[in-house]
Structure 1
Amino acid sequence: MLVTMDYLEITKRLLLAIILSGIIGFDREYKNRPAGVRTHILVAVGACVVALIQEQIALETVDYIKNNPSLSGSLSLNQGRLTAQVISGIGFLGAGTIMVNKTSVKGLTTAASIWAVACLGIAAGEGFYAITLIGFMAVILVLTVLERIIRVPVLKILEIDYTGDDTVKHELVAFLKKENIEIRNVNYHICQEDHQKVYKLLLELECAPNIKAIDIIDHLADHPHVTKVMLEDS
């Protein structure tokens, strides 16, 4: 008779993977990140199913050896083989959430969270409830609480195009300093646009995490001589 896992146990493990990965996915979607609730749940469910398959194979192998002791030497059981493929293979999905441009790389945290929910799905599928729950709490701690505790200054690139003279540049720089924004590096050049001299100011800024970029952009854009403002992560 074929040995199978208990249906209730299978359901419990899958539900645990769905609930915990859904919470992590909600955090990513709420923060407008590339992968949201459904992506995280699907990754965790897939990983959980692989872990369940692996456990079912193990149960059947052990049962077969019990019923056929003479074959015990020819049968091997590798508990980590399938889950190892999940952990390495999930990288392609995480890579899809990473966006790279010439000044910044975005989506690394979401890629890491996808990899983490795959690991949580495996733990749930294997029935390691304590590891799953503690691992989940660690992921949530990193994604939410730690973000508020550790305030790392952010480097940003600010590009300002303006007309006028050097007085305008001094006014713009004075405003940034007044807002406690440290200017780390300055690049400055002049070009002609529509028969008009345009000054391009490229600044590398160190900003406190609590500074709202939109407020800075709005104030600079309101200056009568400013024609363009762009702010990007360094």
Structure 2
Amino acid sequence: MENVWTITYWEIALRLFAAGFLGGLIGWEREKDNHPAGFRTHILVSLGSALIMLISIYGFSDFVNEKNVRMDPARIAAQVVSGIGFLGAGTILRHGVSVKGLTTAASLWVVAGIGLAAGAGFMFAAVLATIFVLVSLELLNRLENILIKKRHVHVLYMILSDEPGKLGELTLLIEKMGGSIRRVNFEESESDSNQVALTFHIRLTEKTSIAELCEEISKIQGIKSVRTE
């Protein structure tokens, strides 16, 4: 009877290669869009998860026949699920009132699962999960851009007086003109400590031009300058 607790070197190599390759596919999608965790990070997470799963299943095979020894292949591997959260948290960045990196953190979590599946020899699930992840990251992203093609993202740079309520006033004006704020960055002005530099990433409909928006913003008291890319 074949011992289920043993594995050949070729099988180990195949599973590690599959884990690295599948993780790399997802990492490449993140890398080309300059996300916090890219190609190498996803490969390492997937490889590490596969290795931990291999150790969990086969690393203690010499002790299987020992008295009072019970094998639990999921015991060590289970720590990957909770441990990957620390790495994922490092990819989540807060920019003003918006948060970036949640999708990359989720992709790292999924890649860890793919690595565990590859390490356990569950190749069909690992490959299928990779396909689903790539579809949701790449194809659905393109579909979203097609569905909202009438809305264009613009970047506004402005210098304004450091006064309470200015951000709220700007937000109300942008929303009133049909804009949707995607991200806001704050910086202190290098030339004047009483001024701040704001960068708005705004999605506008075709009904409103960026020139009209800039003109209305410039009318707000305390706005020193406003320009766009």
TM-score, with normalisation over the residues of structure 2?
0.66
After superposition, residues 67-216 of structure 1 pair within 5 angstroms as 71=67, 74-150=68-144, 151=147, 182-183=178-179, 207=204, 216=210
* Cα separation, partners in 2 of 1:205 and 1:32, compared to 1, 3 Å: closer
Q: 8 Å contact 1:156–1:204 — kept in the other structure?
A: yes
Separation of aligned partners in 2, 1:88 and 1:224 = 49
Separation of aligned partners in 2, 1:38 and 1:11 = 19
* Cα separation, partners in 2 of 1:203 and 1:125, compared to 1, 3 Å: closer
Higher mean displacement: 146-155 or 2-11? 146-155
SS of residue matched to 2:16: helix
Q: Which amino acid aligns with 1:48?
A: A
Higher mean displacement: 75-84 or 13-22? 75-84
Q: 8 Å contact 1:183–1:203 — kept in the other structure?
A: no
Separation of aligned partners in 2, 1:230 and 1:98 = 27
Separation of aligned partners in 2, 1:97 and 1:31 = 14
Aligned-pair Cα RMSD in Å: 4.2
Separation of aligned partners in 2, 1:207 and 1:25 = 31
Q: 8 Å contact 2:154–2:228 — kept in the other structure?
A: no
Q: Which amino acid aligns with 2:178?
A: E
Q: How many residues align?
A: 187
Separation of aligned partners in 1, 2:45 and 2:36 = 14
The percentage of counterpart residues that share the same residue type is: 36
1:106-163 Cα distance to aligned partner (Å, 9 max, x none): 011111111111110110000001111111111111111111224467999967569x
Deviation, 1:204, is 10
Q: 8 Å contact 2:16–2:50 — kept in the other structure?
A: yes
Other-structure match for 1:198: none
Deviation, 1:55, is 1.3
TM-score, with normalisation over the residues of structure 1?
0.65
Deviation, 1:5, is 1.8
Gaps of 5+ in 1: 66-70, 163-175, 186-193, 195-201
Q: 8 Å contact 1:161–1:229 — kept in the other structure?
A: no
Gaps of 5+ in 2: 161-173, 182-190, 192-198
Q: Which has the larger radius of gyration?
A: 1
* Cα separation, partners in 2 of 1:34 and 1:80, compared to 1, 3 Å: same
